[in-house]
Amino acid sequence: MVGPDSYPRGVNPLTGLMVDEPDVLSRRPLLIKVSNAPPEVRPQSGIGSADIIVENYAEGGWTRFAAIFYSQDVEHVGSVRSVRLVDMQLAQAFDAIMVFSGGSRGVIDTVRLSPLYPYNTISPQFGYGEPYFVRFPRSGLAFEHTLFTDTSVLREWLVDKNVRGDPDFMLPGMAFVSIVPPNGQAATLAVIDYARTRASWHFDPLSGTYLRWTDNTPHTDALTGQQLAFENVIVISAYHDEIELFPEKYFGEERSLYIELQGEGPVTLLRDGQAFEGRWHRPNEHDMFSLTTTDEKVLPLKPGRTFVQVIRAGFELLVVEP
């Protein structure tokens, strides 16, 4: 088993896989906010190369992606969209640089007061335009969905600003093992119905991965044309609430969705065509996510990339078919 308390040199702690160039692991992950709505923004660019993608509610029943790039670089990622409160939790969990385009007044004020600001955030909101963010207009696509970035250029920014390079992943982290754990249930199809979009995962036994459909359409990467495929799909159930931000400053008119990703809660892991029930854990704000079985043993992922679905506790359901 790789992890959760240590990782051999050259092994990516976000995938459990050896990398070709160990030096790539001495740089910080980039957490890039990518649009997933309206449907016209799909297929997005570059997301198939992310080590981890997190999907969660943004607003109005739509979801948004936080794509975490660590072991690979991509020259065209996007479209890049605005930040949400939950992204600060994710950035601290993965010790990532948060990359986004703007945000509401209250969320931006919260970012400015967080330990991520100013040198762990890159955004046009803070004065960074080209070459870090470039517009690629497209007929029929609204202006706000035309902003893209390049991970190599973002990393040049980190060097220019002398931002800390070596990531500081807290332990325990995620565990990985190739052997399929016991006590799984057959899961060749898994479906989550968010308020305004459906995420479906179909297990492909030839590749050993789960293939993504969104709203009953194969979800592809615009750069490669290939359907999104992940070795692991993690479904995290978490508390959601809409909260007021800076009520005295904004007279109670600034509200934003808060998702509690600190603590623990129910989790389902999909891997190798099977579903495993357990608990997710993240005791402190800088801790990585770790998974355990219902009897408190380590719940290992399959070595490879992971897609995380965050759902509302007591609302969305994961429907699994054998």
Q: Is residue 202 part of a domain?
A: no
Q: Is residue 68 part of a domain?
A: yes
DSSP 175-193: -B-SSPPSS-EE-SEEEEE
Q: What is the DSSP letter of 107?
A: H
- pTM of the prediction? 0.96
Question: Residue 141: what pLDDT?
Answer: 85
The CA distance from 296 to 278, in Å, is 8
Question: Residue 222: what pLDDT?
Answer: 96
Q: Is residue 130 part of a domain?
A: yes
pLDDT digits (tens, 9 = 90+) for 275-310: 999 999 999 999 999 999 999 999 999 999 999 999
Q: Is residue 153 part of a domain?
A: yes
Low-confidence ranges of the chain (pLDDT < 70): none
Q: How many domains does the chain have?
A: 1
Q: Is residue 273 part of a domain?
A: no
Q: The domain spanning residue 75 has which CATH number?
A: 3.50.90.10
> Other CB atoms closer than 10 Å to residue 127's CB: what's the count?
7
pLDDT digits (tens, 9 = 90+) for 133-182: 999 988 878 888 999 999 999 999 999 999 998 999 999 999 999 999 99
Question: Residue 140: what pLDDT?
Answer: 79
Q: Is residue 2 part of a domain?
A: no
Question: Residue 278: what pLDDT?
Answer: 97
Q: Is residue 8 part of a domain?
A: no
Here the tokens at position 159 are 């060097």
- Residue 134: which domain range? 22-160
Q: Is residue 268 part of a domain?
A: no
The CA distance from 301 to 161, in Å, is 35
